[in-house]
Amino acid sequence: MRRSAAGLGALCAFALISSAALAVDDGEKPARVPGQVEKTFLIPAGEGYGVGECLVAGSGSCGQVVADAWCEAQGFAVAGSFGVAAPEDYTGTIDQPPAPKPVEPPIRITCKD
C-alpha cells in the first residue's frame, strides 16, 4: 500500500508540474498594448466639399467637428490638430524652376487613436 500511495503522489506531482509548464508557455505571445498612432492627411483647400473655411479658421467648434468627422471616416478616433499645412509639409515647395506653386496651400489634419 505504501508503494501505491508513493507512486500516486509522484504521479500527481508530475501532473502538476507538467500542467504548470504548459500553462506558462502555451506557444502564444501575450497581447501588447499598441502605442498611440498618429497620421497626418493633406487635403486640397478647394476639394469641393466647402469645409475648407471651417478647417482653416481654426477657431470655434466647426473646425473640430469637421476634422473629427474626417478622422473617423479614415478609421481614427479623433483629430489632434488641423489647419493650413506648412510649406515644408507638401511637395512642390522647394524653390526650383519650373516647380508650380499650389494656388492655395492644402489643409492639414492630424488624426490619432
- Domain borders along the chain are 38-112
Check whether 77 has a pLDDT greater than 50: yes
pTM, rounded to two decimals: 0.58
Residue 68: its pLDDT value, please? Answer: 93
Q: Are 47 and 104 in contact (CB under 8 A)?
A: no
Residue pLDDT, tens place only, 79-108: 999 988 888 787 665 666 665 655 778 889
**Cis-peptide into 98, omega within 30 deg:** yes
Instruction: Give the residue, 62 or 76, on which the prediction is more confident.
Output: 76
Looking at 60-64, 89-93, 107-111, which range is the least confident one?
Answer: 89-93
Q: Are 82 and 55 in contact (CB under 8 A)?
A: yes
Residue 78: its pLDDT value, please? Answer: 94
